[in-house]
Structures are given as C-alpha cells and as structure tokens.
Structure 1
Amino acid sequence: MASPPPPTSSAPTGFSLRKIAIPAFGPSLLFGIGEGAILPIVPLTARDLGASVSMAALMVALISIGSLLNNIPASLITMRWGERWAIVVAGIWSGLGMSLCVLTSHLGLFATGCLMVGMSQAVYNLARQSYMTEAVPITYRARALSTLGGVMRIGMFIGPFLAAAAVHAFGLQAAYVIGIIGVLGAAVVGARIPDLPVPPHPAGQDAPATPTLVSTLRDHRRVFLTIGVGVVLVSAVRASRQAVIPLWAEHLALAPAVASLIYGLAGGIDMLVFYPAGKVMDYKGRRWVAVPSMLIMGVAMLLMPLTTGFATLLMAALAIGFGNGIGSGMIMTLGADHSPRHGRAHFLGVWRLMSDIGSSSGPALLSLLAASLSLALGIAATGLIALVAAAVLASSIPTRRTGAGGAHEK
C-alpha cells in the first residue's frame, strides 16, 4: 500500500487561505447556489409535466444517480483535461442540463437534464477536491477542505431562498434561471483558477508508470477496505439525517412550519462550525474530529425516538447538526491524505464512488426499516451505523497530526 505523504514540520511562509479565497471557494459557493436553487423545484416541475408522486421523487433521485455513475468517468476527465478545465466543463454541463429541464415539456428529456446535473456534480466535486489537495500545503489541508465543504453548504442553503423569491415574482421556471446563472458563474470563476505546476521529475530516476484504475485499486486496497468502509458508513448516516428530522417531526404531529424551523436551526449549527473543526483536524489530527462527529450523531439518533415534543426534538436535531457540521470536509480530507500524487484523480474517483454508495444506501435502508418495522427502529439503526462508523474510523485513521507542530502522535 502506498502511504500518504509525511506531514511538514511547519506552515509554509507566505501562504494564507484568504489569498486563495475567491478562486478556491468562489466556484463552490456559486455551484452550491445553483444546485440549491433547483433541488426543491425539480419534483414540482416533474408534477407539472404529468409525473406521479413516485416518478417526481425519482427525478430528484436521478441527480444522485448521475453523480454516482459518473465518479469514475470524472476521474478520467480530470486526468485528461486537468482540474481547472474539469471545473469549467462541469459548470457548463450542469447549465446545459438545467436548460434542458426548463425548456422541455417532455418528461423523458426532463429526466435527462436531471441526470446531466448529477453527472456534472461528480466532475466538479472531484476536480475541486483534487485541486485543493495539490494547491494547499498539508498543514492547512483540513481547514481548506472543511471550508470548501462549508462554503458549498452555505450555497446550498442560500439557493432555495433566491429561487423562492424568483418563483414568487416570475414563476416556477425562474428557479432554473437562478440555477443556470449560479453554475455558469462557477465555471467563469473556475476558469480563472491558476494551473497547478507540474512537479519536476527527480534526476536519475525512472519516470513513474502511468497509473490506471486497476493499479490504483490494487495499490490502495487496504485504505479502501478500512477507512473507505468508514467513509461509506459516514455517508450513509449523513444522507439519512436529512430525512430523519422531518419524518420524526411528522410522527410527533408537529406542524410543518415547526418541523421546518427545527430543520433550519439544525442546518444553521451545521454551517457555523466547519472552520474550527478543520483547525482541530490540522493541529490535533483527523481522529479528533472524525470520531466525535459520528459519536455525537449516533447518540443523538439513538435518543431521537425518545423525544416527545418540540423542545426535546430540537435538542436532538441540534446535536445532529453539530455532529455533522464538525465533520464538514472530513471525507475530502481523509481522501486527500491518502491519495497518491500520481493517479490522484483515479484514487479520488473511487473515494467519491464509495461515498456516493453510502449516500444512496443510507436513506434506502432507513426507508426499508421504517416500512417493514417502524420509523423509530429505522432511526435507531441509523444511530447504530454511526457508532460503527466511529469505531471503524478510530481503528483505521493513522494516529498522527499534520498541524503546525507537525509531530506524530503515537
């Protein structure tokens, strides 16, 4: 197994996250706004086109399916064209998909547009992670990637509000205009990202063989079978949390406005803690955030079926939001830590595929358990998965830190 690069002993002089804020984080904010603007509108548009309720839900799922299926092709695109142009292409392709959604009156073409949006999501997410991994010194890596994830979440939070205002003023199709402006804006800003320098080849050494997907799987199989399994479990829990809070609020017969308030407050906590968590990961080590994140979410979900009203559900939801928030960028950081310099896109493609498999299977398992047993048992099972994820991460994440001190923890 190829080991991750050793941590540096001190922060590089002259580097500042603020200096790269606009080119590094600007596209993520705009891309998040663009996607956030259309996500609540997709099922409504599908219904207007004659889709049933289940078919409308499938249109939303197609975005996730498109991302899942395109992770490996995304790695090939990124290796062929480079991170900068992959980001640009992703924004343009997403804009084309949204345009197809808004211009067509055929449900099949609308589904194609949704699939295109998901495909572009895979390319964009992989390219931005690969770029930041290479561009940011390892002593700032967790802060940079946590901020990257946090900024994307902020965009996804802002997008629906902009879309709501546009829909109120101009109708349902205006949400897609907001979305198109957002993703094309991300492409424009992304085009201004400076190209990464090609690392010089050491004199007197043979050039490394061009990595393939198969060689990447073989060389890093131990990482994929240990930390990678933890990533699958983490993603399953994170995706399930989005359904857990509103479903249990409905079970308690809380008004929809109250359920939305609880969900929104949990999301607010989620967005407030990403940078401090990244700083802890840089200075103390990845375990100090990864394990507590899953422990907090697991305990909160185990306790949620015991809640009986607004106050107790709010406490559980806030704990879930806090646990998820401190884990912002965690999966990207772990992937960056273990990705090789040569063939990084292949490695991250597999990494993101495993993450998306977890994101798809988590809500499906929750739905299955809720239908066959009970919603309470389904939520509790999700909490147990979080505790298992914490155990897997605790046993597999290397015990070292990559912060300013750069010392190894043994």
Structure 2
Amino acid sequence: MPSTDDTAGYADSSAFSLRRIALPAFGPSLMFGIGEGAILPMIPLMARELGASIALAALMVTLLGLGSLLNNIPASFITMRWGERGAIIAAGFWSAAAMLLCLLTRRLELFGLGCFMVGMSQSVYNIARQSYLTAAVPIGYRARALSTLGGVMRIGLFVGPFLAATVVHAYGMAAAFWVGIAGVVGAALIGMRVPDLPEPAPPAGQAPVPTGWRTILREHRRVFLTLGLAVLLVSAVRASRQAVLPLWADHLLLAPAAASLIYGLAGGIEMLLFYPAGKIMDARGRRWVALPSMLIMGAALALVPFTTGFTSLLIAAMAIGFANGIGSGLIMTLGADHAPRHGRAYFLGVWRFMADLGSTAGPALVALLAAAVSLPLGVGATGAIAFTAAALMARWVPARTPQA
C-alpha cells in the first residue's frame, strides 16, 4: 500500500455525507449511463441500415471499447490539464457530438468514427469521475462512493434501452440517438455544478515536484505489474460473462426471449448489491469482496458447460450476477487506494488502460477458443482465469482497509 502521505484520499471525514454530494457526484453518471444505454442496442441495427454486413455491424460495437481503450492515456492528460470538472463537461458534449454524427451521416465510415468517439468520451468521463471521488471522498467512505458510482452507471445503462425502446416504437431508430444526446448533455450540465477541487499542497518545507506520465509509470511499476495484472484478469472475466451467457443460451437452443430474460435477471441481481459491496469493503477491507467475487464467479462459469436447459443456466447466471454485484466498484476502489495525490489522473489512466485491455481480451479469448476448439473449453477457460485472478488478489490486495 502507498503511504498515507502519498494516498489520494485527503477529504475531511468529520462532516462528510454521501447524500450531500449525491447530485454532483452521481447525477452525471446516471445521465451518462442512460445516454449510452439508449444507443447501444441501436448501433448494430443502424449500421445494418447503412449497408454493413453482420460482422461489420458487430465491429461498430467493438469500436466503442476500442475508443475507450486507446484514449485512456490521453484522457488522463485532459483531466490533468482541465481538471475533473472540466473533463466531465467536455466528455458529455464530445459524446453528444459523436452521437449526432452517427445520427446524421449516411456513410458507414463516419458512423464508425462516431462510435469510436463515443468510446473516447467514455475514457475521459470515467477517469474524471473516478479521480474526482478519489479526492473528494474521505477514505473511510471511498469504497461505498465508488461502488455507488459504478452502480448508478449500471442503472443508467439498464434504464436507457427501455427509454429508447419507447421512442423507437413511436418515431423510429433515430429517436434512440436523440435520447442518448439528451442523456449525455444532461450529464455535462449537471457536471457544471461539480465544484472544482483544489490542488493538494506539497508537504511542509517541500517545493512542488513536477509529475508526468512517465514518472508515474516508473514509480508505480510494481503496483501495475502485480495488482494491475490481477485487475486485468478480473476485467477479462467480467467482460467475458457478457459473451458466455448469450452464447451458451444459443448452444442450448433457447429462444432469444429466454436468453434475454436470463441476462436481464442476472443484471438485476448485480444492481441490488453495489452499496452493500462498498460498505463491506469500507468496514472489513477490499479482500473481503475481491476473493468471494472471483471465486464464486469462477465456480459459476465452470458450471455453465454442465447446464442443460433454462433453469440450470438461470441458476448459474444468477450466481455470476451475484458475484459480479458484490465486486461492484472493486477495480475503481483499488485504483483510488494506490493513486498518488500528485499525478492522480495519470495513474488512473494507466489503471483504466489495464482494466480496459482485460475487458477487450476476455471476450476475444472466449471467441478464439470457441472457434478453434469448442465453446465449453472457452467457457471453462474463463472460469480458470477467475480462479487465477482470485489467487493474485489474495496475494496483492491488502488484508486491511487503508487508513487516511
């Protein structure tokens, strides 16, 4: 763990209340989630309408993740240059411009550029909101705040498609993008109410030390190569579950409606657990959530190939949803625990890059093994990765909650 002098959480806990900061801290996340959730189901359909093949339409969705992955490091520079508040506002308006491009263009390459730009805005927004709460929330409330942040975003992503479905039924697919634009612009407008954070003062008698991206990478390389590797694997497992459940449902010849119901119920379980997960991490330590989350998910994923129908797959999916739910905010909290006061956004940029790299690699590994060998092997490999992540977490996550 970093020393208390180097820890980013320096807010005063004496009069702190999560409720007091709820609107400026969590309001933009809800709106941003609604905005993105509204357009996600429509992206492949709009691409098909523009003449894309099925494979190319799927690629358009991948461009969102790719835009986020490749922009994490630049996003840290934006956050350091403009501050967390400025970056949150910029991300909202940039995402709105990207959605407007997708809406107005009739050229597939420009539509793809718009999708990539939406991914870029994700990285700026995610780093800015995490950096802001890392500094603004006392360390004793940190996990609850970051778990709530992630949970609110999930609620937005859950609500967005339903709002979009309502307007799409009445006005067509393009209307979903107007819902998306309204959501992300709303996030930017609420972000304008976020107060600017003062720069942390250097220790008494010391001059400010210039901190750059390379300095952060060099000074924290041990954290990135140990706990960062564990975070990469956790992200790979979490992202893989989004491919595993629909693919195995299709393997069992379940109807699409049944597959959607299984996926939705698992997601509902996740949304119920984000605050209890954060409270446990604050009270008992990060390891109390990190290990059960990966062990349960590993066991549930290992059992998926043995499911034979709707009921057995639903039970496995609910266990996966429970495991993912109790891990809400874990990656953000671990990043906040290790981020330095000076150069915090640079550190979080690298941290998110590693997490996004895992999120990209996980589903790709499942697809590769399914195509080259078999789907059961791909699913089983994901479970093995979860157990490996649990072992690394047991080794590198501190047993006790860090103290300010």
Q: Which residue of 2 aligns with 1:270?
A: 270
How far the C-alpha of 1:7 sits from its partner, in A, is: 11
Q: Which residue of 1 aligns with 2:260?
A: 260
Q: Which residue of 2 aligns with 1:345?
A: 345
Q: Which amino acid in the other structure matches residue 257 of structure 1?
A: A
Q: Which amino acid in the other structure matches residue 48 of structure 2?
A: R
Q: Write out aligned runs for 1:150-229 (5 A).
A: 150-207=151-208, 209-229=209-229
Q: Which residue of 2 aligns with 1:398?
A: 398
Q: Which amino acid in the other structure matches residue 110 of structure 2?
A: L
Regions of 4+ moved over 6 Å? none
How far the C-alpha of 1:235 sits from its partner, in A, is: 0.5
Q: Which residue of 1 aligns with 2:284?
A: 284
Q: Write out aligned runs for 1:13-52 (5 A).
A: 13-52=14-53
Q: Which amino acid in the other structure matches residue 132 of structure 1?
A: L
Alignment gaps of 5+ in structure 2: none
Q: Which residue of 1 aligns with 2:55?
A: 54
Do the aligned partners of 1:235 and 1:355 also contact (CA within 8 Å) in 2? yes
Q: Which residue of 2 aligns with 1:80?
A: 81
Q: Which residue of 2 aligns with 1:146?
A: 147
Q: CA–CA distance in 2 between the matches of 1:187 and 1:236? A: 30
How far the C-alpha of 1:246 sits from its partner, in A, is: 1.1
Identity among equivalent positions (%) equals: 68
| Residues 1:296 and 2:296 aligned together | yes
Q: CA–CA distance in 2 between the matches of 1:268 and 1:259? A: 14
Q: Write out aligned runs for 1:353-372 (5 A).
A: 353-372=353-372
Q: Which amino acid in the other structure matches residue 252 of structure 1?
A: L
Q: Which amino acid in the other structure matches residue 296 of structure 2?
A: I
SS in 1 for 2:389: helix
Of 36-45 and 12-21, deviating more is 12-21
How far the C-alpha of 1:229 sits from its partner, in A, is: 0.1
How far the C-alpha of 1:2 sits from its partner, in A, is: 5.1
Q: Which amino acid in the other structure matches residue 305 of structure 2?
A: P
Q: CA–CA distance in 2 between the matches of 1:7 and 1:128? A: 14
Q: Which amino acid in the other structure matches residue 200 of structure 1?
A: A
Q: CA–CA distance in 1 between the matches of 2:61 and 2:49? A: 14
Q: Which residue of 2 aligns with 1:98?
A: 99
Q: CA–CA distance in 1 between the matches of 2:203 and 2:258? A: 62
Do the aligned partners of 1:74 and 1:126 also contact (CA within 8 Å) in 2? yes
Q: CA–CA distance in 2 between the matches of 1:37 and 1:105? A: 20
Q: Which amino acid in the other structure matches residue 80 of structure 2?
A: M
Q: CA–CA distance in 2 between the matches of 1:25 and 1:388? A: 33
How far the C-alpha of 1:214 sits from its partner, in A, is: 1.1
Do the aligned partners of 1:304 and 1:316 also contact (CA within 8 Å) in 2? yes
Q: CA–CA distance in 1 between the matches of 2:7 and 2:80? A: 24
Q: CA–CA distance in 2 between the matches of 1:174 and 1:199? A: 44
Q: What do you get for the CA RMSD once the two structures are aligned?
A: 1.7
Distance 1:346 1:180, change over 3 A: same
Q: Which residue of 2 aligns with 1:328?
A: 328
Of 194-203 and 258-267, deviating more is 194-203
Q: CA–CA distance in 1 between the matches of 2:395 and 2:12? A: 28
| Residues 1:236 and 2:214 aligned together | no
How far the C-alpha of 1:203 sits from its partner, in A, is: 3.7
Q: Write out aligned runs for 1:59-70 (5 A).
A: 59-70=60-71
Q: CA–CA distance in 2 between the matches of 1:223 and 1:97? A: 35
How far the C-alpha of 1:201 sits from its partner, in A, is: 3.7
How far the C-alpha of 1:206 sits from its partner, in A, is: 2.5
Q: Which amino acid in the other structure matches residue 220 of structure 2?
A: H
CA-to-partner distance for each residue in 1:368-399, whole Å, 9 max, x for gaps? Answer: 00011111110010000000000001100122
Q: CA–CA distance in 2 between the matches of 1:147 and 1:381? A: 31
Q: Which amino acid in the other structure matches residue 357 of structure 1?
A: L
How far the C-alpha of 1:6 sits from its partner, in A, is: 6.7
Do the aligned partners of 2:8 and 2:336 also contact (CA within 8 Å) in 1? no
Q: Which residue of 1 aligns with 2:387?
A: 387
Do the aligned partners of 1:2 and 1:219 also contact (CA within 8 Å) in 2? no
Q: CA–CA distance in 1 between the matches of 2:290 and 2:3? A: 20
Q: Which amino acid in the other structure matches residue 374 of structure 2?
A: S
Alignment gaps of 5+ in structure 1: none
Distance 1:39 1:293, change over 3 A: same
Do the aligned partners of 1:146 and 1:278 also contact (CA within 8 Å) in 2? yes
Distance 1:285 1:94, change over 3 A: same
How far the C-alpha of 1:72 sits from its partner, in A, is: 0.3
Q: Which residue of 1 aligns with 2:131?
A: 130
SS in 2 for 1:19: coil
Q: CA–CA distance in 2 between the matches of 1:86 and 1:166? A: 30
SS in 1 for 2:19: helix
Q: CA–CA distance in 1 between the matches of 2:14 and 2:127? A: 28
How far the C-alpha of 1:309 sits from its partner, in A, is: 1.1
SS in 2 for 1:399: coil
How many residues are aligned here? 403
Q: CA–CA distance in 2 between the matches of 1:217 and 1:198? A: 21
How far the C-alpha of 1:11 sits from its partner, in A, is: 8.3
CA-to-partner distance for each residue in 1:30-85, whole Å, 9 max, x for gaps? Answer: 00000000011000000000011111111111111100110000000000000000
Do the aligned partners of 1:75 and 1:349 also contact (CA within 8 Å) in 2? yes
TM-score, normalised relative to structure 2: 0.97
Of 128-137 and 239-248, deviating more is 239-248
Q: CA–CA distance in 2 between the matches of 1:167 and 1:340? A: 46
Q: CA–CA distance in 2 between the matches of 1:249 and 1:47? A: 24
